[in-house]
């Protein structure tokens, strides 16, 4: 598998494998259900979704519980994670490779990305934004660390592996037919459903 950036190699390799091992706790599933129940409360019925960077499928498991008939699809770069993901959704619905190598051919009611844009090489963000946009029939849900201006943060002892910025705002500027429907914040000290201080944004195509 060929990659365009160091970040892709990083997540495809040993560090990506270790991430799989760290993120299998049921507590994450409960927090995701709470998050998506809020984020999707204004969408109405959804028939299909694709997640960019699904890892082992915890987000999609939560969404499937909320929308039992929804068709779920995914993109995942890490082989170990993809193997686990096959237990959640059909193999045919998984693109095994980098988001940067994914070519949108179908459109889904929702294109979801959660905790992934922060790890993308900033030079490649416009390409990822385009793939999210082209994959969506109506909604795009972005859930990432937010900062009003771009900053780089050390990530578990590694540099150039985590970036914070206004991802949703950049998409709104790039695509005038998108509008902000709703947004919210998840606090790591939430007494019931904590997550990593992420901000979510629901965008809609007009």
CB 9 within 8 A of CB 104: no
14 in any annotated domain: yes
Asked whether residue 1 is assigned to any structural domain, the reply reads no
Q: Per the domain annotation, does 32 fall within a domain?
A: yes
Neighbours of 52 (CB within 10 A): 23
Q: Is residue 197 part of a domain?
A: yes
Could you read off the pLDDT tens digit of each residue along the chain, which spans 206 residues?
666 776 666 546 454 445 555 555 666 888 999 999 999 999 988 999 999 999 999 999 999 999 999 999 999 999 989 999 999 999 999 999 999 999 999 999 999 999 999 999 999 999 999 999 999 999 999 999 999 999 998 776 555 578 999 999 999 999 999 999 999 999 999 999 999 899 999 999 99
pLDDT tens track for 46-71: 999 999 999 999 999 999 999 999 99
Q: Is residue 115 part of a domain?
A: yes
| 164 inside domain | yes
Q: How far is CA 180 from CA 42, 115, 141, 168, 169, in A?
A: 12, 19, 10, 9, 9
Q: What is the pLDDT of residue 16?
A: 46
Q: Flag whether 112 is in a domain.
A: yes
Within a domain: 127: yes
Predicted pLDDT of residue 154: 78
What's the whole-model pTM score?
0.88
If one counts the domains in the chain, the total is: 1
Determine the structural domain holding residue 200 and report its residue range. 6-205
Question: Residues with Cβ < 8 Å from 110, sequence gap 6 or more?
Answer: 40, 43, 46, 48, 49, 50, 136, 138, 139, 140, 141
Residues of the chain with pLDDT > 70, as a percent, come to: 85
Strand 158-164 and strand 151-155: pairing? Answer: antiparallel
- CATH number for position 41: 3.40.50.150
Q: Which of 55, 56, 95, 77 is nearest to 7 (CA)?
A: 77
Taking all residues of the chain, what is their mean pLDDT, rounded to a whole number?
89
């Amino acid at each position: 598998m060929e990659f365009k950036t160091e970040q892709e190699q990083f997540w495809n390799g040993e560090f990506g494998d270790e991430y799989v091992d760290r993120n299998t706790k049921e507590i994450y599933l409960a927090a995701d259900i709470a998050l998506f129940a809020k984020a999707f409360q204004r969408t109405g019925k959804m028939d299909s979704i694709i997640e960019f960077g699904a890892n082992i499928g915890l987000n999609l498991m939560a969404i499937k519980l909320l929308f039992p008939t929804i068709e779920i699809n995914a993109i995942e770069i890490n082989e170990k994670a993809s193997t686990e993901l096959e237990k959640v959704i059909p193999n045919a619905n998984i693109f095994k490779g980098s988001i940067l190598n994914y070519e949108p051919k179908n459109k889904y009611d929702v294109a979801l990305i959660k905790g992934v844009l922060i790890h993308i090489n900033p030079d490649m963000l416009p390409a990822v934004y385009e793939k999210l946009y082209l994959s969506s029939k109506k909604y795009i849900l972005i859930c990432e660390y937010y900062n009003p201006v771009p900053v780089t943060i050390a990530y578990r002892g590694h540099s150039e592996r985590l970036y914070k910025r206004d991802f949703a705002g950049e998409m709104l500027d790039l695509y005038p037919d998108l509008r902000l429907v709703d947004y919210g914040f998840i606090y790591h000290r939430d007494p019931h459903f904590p997550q990593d201080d992420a901000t979510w944004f629901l965008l809609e195509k007009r």
